[in-house]
Amino acid sequence: MSTPLSALSNILSSRIAAIESTYAKHGATFPSMDEPFQPGLLEEDEMLCQTIDHAIAAASQLIALVKPAPRTVIEGACLFYLLASLQVVVSANLPKILREAGPQGLHIKDIGDKCSSDPHKIGRILRCLATNHIFRELSPDIFANNRTSSVLDTGKSVVALKADPVAKYDNTPGIVAIVNHITDELMKAGAYLADNVLDPQTSTSQEPADSPLSRTFHCGTVFEFFEQPGNERRLRRFSAAMHGASSLIASGEMLIGFDWALLQQDARVVDVGGGIGSATLHLMKDHPHLRYVVQDRPKVIADAVKFWENEDPDALKSGRVELKEHDFFEPQPIKDASVFFLRGVIHDWPDAYARTILKHLHASAQSDTKLILNEFLVLYVADSNNLFSDIPGADVPRAPYPLLANLGTVSN
């Protein structure tokens, strides 16, 4: 058997050859890092996606293998600077500023003027990101977007963003909202993770109000936090972020995990805790013969109305989609659902709370009502011998030697 080092090298080289061959068969070349990101049809190729995952896993594991251990842990401890830098450039609209500057880029003095910030600090932040392949430094102190940084652009003009910053994430793909949510609430909460886990009062607690985020912001649950006065922008951003997350996976697992076409005409699908209804929007586009109800807290439903009025106002007018205020810890009012659909809900709650949610749905279900949970699973790093092989379609292909069973960073 080959050594881990040579085996990883072989996986990486063979997968790269396969990727380039696939693109060549379609008369295309692999995208340049220097060009804006453009989604393509090849992203839907399941075999290509698996090949790319193997290449990513092999490359990251190869780096971990050859890099000295002290360097690995020190660099890992400094990763928060990358998150903090991302928060700055997204909050200051730097990807939009550089998009408007064009491919010739912009000097840090001009960037600083446009975002009202110190140019030297902005330069250090952009250089940190460019060193990690986010943005390009064309020549000393002159920066431009690249393929990675281009996805941090909402597509709106700088003038429009300054005129209405609250609406910054409205009607956008949601990637920027996800990044801003992570680098704001989640990064700040992450700083208190050790305090929370090692505090005897919270270390074993299963109460949502004892989370690191609750400790950070002195609040109850994250959803109560978003509804506090002054957090309107955060709530709106979170809704846009969930729309972005839904868009990233909607064409895959959510649509093929259940045969929605088997449901009868006008069967009722209830999207429980469905946010603004972005998952429902994707379902409806593929299965317009069904009727949909999106349920969530009142302030979220208020944003959902704006979302649907922009995306598909006819769906609301026709009654094909209904937006209803509902707390899923209270009895479920809909008794004739064909499907109770929960996407990314159960993983937010400890077991006792999850049971309450499901018991309310069970009490309102008919004998033929389906319960569909669309969730992410955290796979074991160790080989689990196809732990889910008894579930049709859920078995995980075995990773080739010497890759980690969960493909390492691919599972992040």
Q: What is the mean pLDDT of the chain?
A: 92
DSSP strands (E only) in 42-128: 106-107
CA 236 to the chain's CA centroid: 16
Does residue 133 fall inside a structural domain? yes
Does the structure show a pLDDT above 80 at 1? no
Residue 49 pLDDT > 70, yes or no? Answer: yes
Assigned domain for 88 exists: yes
Q: Is residue 311 part of a domain?
A: yes
CATH value at residue 91: 1.10.10.10
Helices (H) and strands (E) counted in the chain, each on its own, are 20, 8
Give domain status of residue 155, yes or no: yes
Catalytically active residues, by annotation: 347
The answer to whether the beta carbons of residues 16 and 55 sit under 8 Å apart is yes
pLDDT for residue 133? 97
Is a pLDDT exceeding 70 seen at residue 393? Answer: no
- Whether 250 shows a pLDDT value over 60: the answer reads no
CB 88 within 8 A of CB 112: no
Per-residue model confidence as pLDDT tens digits over 133-160:
999 999 999 999 999 999 999 988 888 8
Q: Output the pLDDT for position 389.
A: 67
- Mean pLDDT to the nearest integer, 76-94: 96
Same domain flag for 259 and 360: yes
Q: What is the mean pLDDT of residues 19-47?
A: 87
Query: 260 and 365 share a domain?
Result: yes
- pLDDT tens sequence across 183-203: 999 999 999 999 999 999 999
Domain that holds residue 103: 78-163
Looking up residue 329, the CATH number of its domain turns out to be 3.40.50.150
Residue 57 lies in a domain: no
Q: Which of 163, 186, 215 is the last residue of a domain?
A: 163
When divided into structural domains, the chain yields a total of 2
Q: What is the mean pLDDT of residues 71-99?
A: 96
Which pLDDT band holds residue 162 (cuts at 50, 70, 90)? confident
Residue 48 is assigned to a structural domain of this protein: no
- Is 52 inside any structural domain? no
Q: Is 361 within a domain?
A: yes
Which region among 12-26, 165-179, 288-302 has the lowest average model confidence (pLDDT)? 165-179
Q: Is the pLDDT assigned to residue 394 strictly greater than 70?
A: no
Query: Using CA atoms in the order 249, 251, 254, 256, what is the torsion angle rounded to 10 degrees?
Result: -140
Q: Which residues contact 374 (CB under 8 A, 6 or more apart)?
A: 253, 254, 257, 279, 341, 342, 343, 344
pLDDT of res. 163: 84
The pTM for the full model equals 0.89
